[in-house]
Amino acid sequence: MPTEERPLRRDAQRNRDLLVTAAREVFGCAGLDASLEEIARRAGVSIGTLYNRFPTRVALIEAVFLGPLELSAEHAERAAEFEDPWDGFVYFLERSCETQAADRGFTEVCSRSFPDAPAMDAVKERAGETFRKVICRAQASGQLRADFRLEDFDFAVSATAHPQWRRHLAFLLDGFRAEAAHPLPDAD
Amino acid sequence: MPTEERPLRRDAQRNRDLLVTAAREVFGCAGLDASLEEIARRAGVSIGTLYNRFPTRVALIEAVFLGPLELSAEHAERAAEFEDPWDGFVYFLERSCETQAADRGFTEVCSRSFPDAPAMDAVKERAGETFRKVICRAQASGQLRADFRLEDFDFAVSATAHPQWRRHLAFLLDGFRAEAAHPLPDAD
DNA sequence: GGATAAGTTGAGGTGACCCTCATGTTTGGC
DNA sequence: GCCAAACATGAGGGTCACCTCAACTTATCC
């Protein structure tokens, strides 16, 4: 039986929303190590209130980014349903780049692990498993090079977490096509 | 007439060397924003001595990284003299990835600009001009795709500043070959 | 070996951030 | 309207890094 969630008082709910909004902005610009006092300031709320609502930094991070992570998992599911497997593969990469290029906080959420926020890691796991299917389909159809691995996705996206992501993802995709593949170095 | 450089006293020279060595290690692991007090501690020298020798953080950064930057410029020159233009292009990328993957400080030096240390920016400029020639040769020979630009080099290297750089540079190179090129998105 | 310039030291002022808690305020049910 | 529980507040103690400077130490030159 999980802990019973009592509803927040009206003012508390309002402040919570202000905090999450402010955190989204600040994390988005300055990353997950941004100052919590800055977030409280921007929310127009005292630092004590922030700690009342979110006892740890990770709790606040989860409140901000669990939604976006779930959206990402949905993108993966949509990608798996594309008629053309390559198009699905490209679709998911594009959505991922798009999101991460616009939000430094989200980029860091995707590349770190959060033992204290199992819900986040679970969603990431789920999205990863779905994308694995996308990869397999694209390889089975002969469009994606056979030596592409799930872990290479992290590289692809982190490489393009910047404003010119469309151009640079295009380079990467040209390198990912089966027709372009030259043998990879043997080192693991 | 530039400021006459008086030679350092023997103990001062020794401390300077200790500081530069410690800074190389600390910047390499923790990046350019690392704590200066940590560097002084590791050098076994007081924080005051650090400030005596290097009045600003940038002065210390320059003392550590000007040499490596010049090395990088030499790599570019060597790359320009390869018989096979593509091999020269690959050579310079490999040297750059190798260096940056091993040194977080150097990675940041390459991606930031330093108005207060014109010598560093000048070396980077020089290396960039040389590498531009490497690019032109490789494009003229039909091996490198025609739409590759000098700025794409930064993307390529920053994307591979990690331990698995060989594998991921291989992907990138497959995407950089003329034979793999699909049209890039029109946006600039 | 003594004078002096060069160099070293670390305590301390400043400021940012973290987190807590005693005190004061607001909400919602009766 | 009143009250208890829920909530907000911000001063304050702790940590860490930055940078300065007055007092002390050492190298160098004669």
Give me the DSSP letters along chain B. Answer: -PPP-PPPPHHHHHHHHHHHHHHHHHHHHH-TT--HHHHHHHHTS-HHHHHHH-SSHHHHHHHHHHHHHHHHHHHHHHHHT-SSHHHHHHHHHHHHHHHHHT-HHHHHHHHS--TT-HHHHHHHHHHHHHHHHHHHHHHHTT-B-TT--THHHHHHHHHT-STTHHHHHHHHHHHHBGGG--PPPS--
Nucleotide in closest CA–C1' contact with A12: D7
Largest CA distance in chain A: 61
pLDDT at B56: 98
The nearest CA of chain A is from the CA of B141 a distance in Å of 19
pLDDT at B4: 59
pLDDT at B148: 98
Residue to mutate among B111, B157, B171, with most A CBs inside 10 A, is B171
- Judged by a CB distance cut-off of 8 A, whether residue A177 touches chain B is yes
d(CA B41, CA B48) in angstroms, rounded, equals 11
Mean local confidence (pLDDT), B28-40 = 98
| Segment holding A10, helix H or strand E | helix A10-30
Q: Whose CA is closest to A91, among A130, A55, A35?
A: A130
Cα atoms found within 13 Å of the Cα of residue B114, Cβ hemisphere only:
25
d(CA B125, CA A180) in angstroms, rounded, equals 32
pLDDT confidence band for B188 (50 / 70 / 90):
low
d(CA A60, CA A66) in angstroms, rounded, equals 10
Identify the CATH number of the domain defined by range A8-55. Answer: 1.10.10.60
Summarised one tens digit per residue, pLDDT across range B146-163 is 999 999 999 999 999 999
Q: Whose CA is closest to B135, among B167, B186, B92, B174?
A: B92
Does the CB of B30 sit below 7 A from strand D?
A: no
d(CA B177, CA A74) in angstroms, rounded, equals 34
Report percent pLDDT > 90 for chain A: 94
pLDDT confidence band for B186 (50 / 70 / 90):
confident
pLDDT confidence band for B7 (50 / 70 / 90):
confident
What lies within 8 Å, CB to CB, of B45 at 6+ separation is: B15, B18, B19
pLDDT confidence band for B102 (50 / 70 / 90):
very high
Do the chains contact at B182 and A173, CB–CB below 8 Å? yes
Mean local confidence (pLDDT), A102-115 = 96
Summarised one tens digit per residue, pLDDT across range A124-171 is 999 999 999 999 999 999 999 999 999 999 999 999 999 999 999 999
pLDDT at B1: 46
Q: Where are the domains of chain A?
A: 8-55, 65-180
d(CA B172, CA B160) in angstroms, rounded, equals 9
Task: Tell whether the model's pLDDT for residue A177 goes beyond 90.
Answer: yes
d(CA B22, CA B30) in angstroms, rounded, equals 12
Bridge partners, A177 (sequence order): A144
Bridge partners, B144 (sequence order): B177
Summarised one tens digit per residue, pLDDT across range B87-97 is 999 999 999 99
**Overall fold of domain A65-180:** Tetracycline Repressor; domain 2 (1.10.357)
Do the chains contact at B173 and A159, CB–CB below 8 Å? no
Cα separations (Å) of A166 from B131, B154, B185?
24, 15, 7
Do the chains contact at B159 and A158, CB–CB below 8 Å? yes
pLDDT confidence band for A17 (50 / 70 / 90):
very high
Listed in sequence order, the DSSP H helices in B31-56 are 36-43, 47-53
Mean local confidence (pLDDT), B53-58 = 98
The nearest CA of chain B is from the CA of A77 a distance in Å of 25
The structure tokens listed for A19 are 């905090």
- Judged by a CB distance cut-off of 8 A, whether residue A163 touches chain B is no
pLDDT at A1: 45
Task: Tell whether the model's pLDDT for residue B2 goes beyond 70.
Answer: no
Q: Count CB neighbours of B80 within 10 A.
A: 20
pTM: 0.93
